């Protein structure tokens, strides 16, 4: 189930709480790092994965690849 929008409040010290169903849907766990970006009048939060986490999640998914690892890293950063 995809959640398009949720209304939340800003607490003291500027804290916000990401609703549980959104955290569950995006598989976000306590202590994970998010990146924040401001574009015009919009705040975007994105799940941040280190290269090590990203590559370990891919392990076993791809049996053989002709893509140069440096090219894959460049694509991943887009």
Q: What is the pLDDT of residues 19-68, one digit of tens each?
A: 999 898 888 889 888 989 999 999 999 887 777 777 777 777 766 767 78
Higher pLDDT, 38 or 4: 38
pTM above 0.75, yes or no: no
77 and 40 part of one domain? no
* Residue 25 backbone phi and psi in degrees, to 5: -60, -35
**Residue 48: predicted pLDDT:** 76
Residues 17 and 34 in one domain: yes
pLDDT at 1 exceeding the cut of 60: no
CA angle at 36 for the pair 72 and 8, rounded to the nearest 5°: 130
- Same-domain pairing of 58 and 72: yes
Domain membership of residue 43 as a residue range:
1-47
State the helix-helix crossing angle for 51-58 and 69-76, rounded to 10 degrees: 110
Q: Among candidates 15, 34, 14, 37, which has minimal Cα distance to 26?
A: 34
DSSP for residue 63: S
């Amino acid at each position: 189930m995809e959640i398009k929008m949720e209304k939340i409040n800003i607490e003291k010290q500027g804290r916000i709480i990401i609703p549980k169903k959104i955290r569950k849907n995006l598989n976000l766990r306590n202590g994970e790092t998010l990146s924040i970006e401001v574009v015009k009048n919009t705040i975007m939060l994105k799940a941040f994965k280190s290269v090590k986490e990203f590559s370990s999640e891919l392990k076993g998914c791809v049996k053989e690849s002709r893509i140069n690892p440096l090219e894959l890293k460049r694509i991943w950063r887009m």
